[in-house]
Amino acid sequence: MNYRINPKNGDKLSALGFGCMRFSKDEKEVEKQIIFAIENGVNYFDTAYIYPKSEAILGRVLAKGYRDRVKIATKLPPYLVKKYEDLDKIFSAELERLQTDHIDYYFLHMLTDVTIWTRLVTIGILKWIEAKKQTGQIINIGFSYHGGRDEFKKLVDAYDWEFCMIQYNFLDENNQAGKEGLKYAAAKGLAVMIMEPLRGGKLVTNLPKEVYKIWDNAYVKRSPAEWAFRWIWNHLEVTVVLSGMNSQAMVEENIKVASQAEANAFTDADFELFNKVTQILSEKIKVPCTGCNYCMPCPMGVDIPTCFSCYNDREIEGKTAAIGKYIMQTSIKSQTSNASLCSKCGKCESHCPQNIKIRDELTNVTKNMEGLYYKPTRFLIKKFMKL
């Protein structure tokens, strides 16, 4: 196994992290996979409060003598924290499920913007974190994030975090926090964990024929998943790449690749292959937005690059997944930033290096992503989350 060092504290973390969200239904199999992973060097396990069975299963397995060999990462859902006492209530439940007295890496789960962080600060989270760190119940604190690059940078700067987690893969090099966000966080000394390295499997299954052909004819035989993982590990700024593993074959393959893939190992030939694949996948993309952010900010609060990114995902990931993502990223936060807020002022268009007709494209986004069920769904989720 290759290891990468957390720049904040010197922790030696396995380049491959075990994502526990998609455990298989057979607990005996899960136990086998977890133990196999630990025996083969994986020392970072990621779960969350909102995956209660996952925390409990991981806790049961680690209690069989493995707890001290691994770092546990789990998460606090900010939307369930209404008052100070909720922090302890949620955290205590997690310690109990995980059968441990401390969490090594504690995330604020899907921290969507600075406003939500400020709300938590008002509730008293700073005092709480400090107390937990003093007692050794929380070792490191960080946040996971889906959203635009500018807000990500603001969040990085909002607190002295030890780590963060972003979505990153070869098709998202310029989406969400993107490469720029990765470099920004790393330059601030944060360990950067990566989620969605295969974009929920969309970079490895049901690919266009031309893409399979490129991988099949490459100078070295590798599966699409191996190529996608290697692309991420090629970044020196990446600390741990999570993979939601749910079969023994997947655990074995990922460990094998993680043991071989080094940072800065790609050659021009490798990059050339990725250019070709990215080009083919990008052709399926409706709006050629690169996520540069030059058009931002919008006076009406539209998150233009995020609207286009989710809209583009419709072709690659399917309608339901893309609309779900669109709601999460533009609407489940204190200030909504969806396409239909656009007042057509046109201020953004002269700044776009891609010459995108932003107003027309946002109309298309509204038509295709904000259908009949959009507003009621958004209303219910926001009500539930008290946003």
C-alpha dihedral sign at 339, 342, 345, 347:
negative
Provide the total of helices (H) and of strands (E) in the chain, helices listed first.
15, 10
Binding residues for ligand SF4, rule: CB under 6 A, are 289-295, 298-300, 302, 304-305, 308, 342-348, 351-352, 354, 356, 358-359, 362
Least distance from ligand SF4 to the Cβ atom of residue 291, Å: 5
Q: How many C-beta atoms lie closer than 10 Å to residue 356's C-beta?
A: 19
In the complex with ligand SF4, which residue's Cβ is closer, 137 or 290?
Answer: 290
Written as six digits, the tokens of 212 are 């399979």
Rank residues 105 and 311 by Cβ distance to ligand SF4 and give the closer one: 311
Single-letter amino acid, residue 357? K
| CB of 292 vs ligand SF4, minimal distance in Å | 4
Q: Kindly tell me which of 103 and 341 has the beta carbon lying closer to ligand SF4.
A: 341
Give the pair of three-digit tokens for residue 308: 């286009």
Is residue 114 within 8 Å of residue 76, measured between CB atoms?
A: no
CB of 157 to ligand SF4, least distance (A): 21
**Residue 170 Cβ, how far from ligand SF4 at the closest point, in Å?**
18
- Of 176 and 239, the one with the shorter C-beta distance to ligand SF4 is 176
> What is the CA 103 to chain-centroid distance, rounded?
20
Closest CB to ligand SF4 among 135 and 282? Answer: 282
Structure tokens at 14: 């396995």
What is the Cα–Cα distance from 323 to 317, expressed in whole angstroms? Answer: 10
In the complex, the smallest distance separating the C-beta of residue 137 from ligand SF4, rounded to whole angstroms, is 41
C-alpha angle with apex 172: 232 to 42, nearest 5 degrees? 30
Contacts by 31-35 with C-beta closer than 8 Å and gap 24+?
Answer: 31/57, 31/60, 31/61, 32/248, 33/245, 33/246, 33/247, 33/248, 33/251, 34/58, 34/61, 34/62, 34/66, 35/61, 35/66
Strands 71-76 and 103-108: parallel
Residue 316, amino acid: I
DSSP β-ladder status, 44-46 and 163-167: unpaired
Nearest approach, Cβ of 305 to ligand SF4 (angstroms)? 4
Phi first, then psi: give them for residue 72, nearest 5 degrees. -100, 130
* Tokens, residue 259: 């043991």
Considering beta carbons, is residue 228 or 356 the nearer one to ligand SF4? 356
Kindly state the smallest distance separating residue 41's Cβ from ligand SF4, in Å: 40
DSSP classification of residue 322? H
Q: Residue 33 or 293: which CB sits closer to ligand SF4?
A: 293
Residue 261 or 289: which CB sits closer to ligand SF4?
Answer: 289
Q: How many residues make up the chain in this entry?
A: 387
Compute the least distance from the CB of residue 358 to ligand SF4, in Å.
5
Cβ nearer to ligand SF4, comparing 274 with 308: 308
CB of 193 to ligand SF4, least distance (A): 25
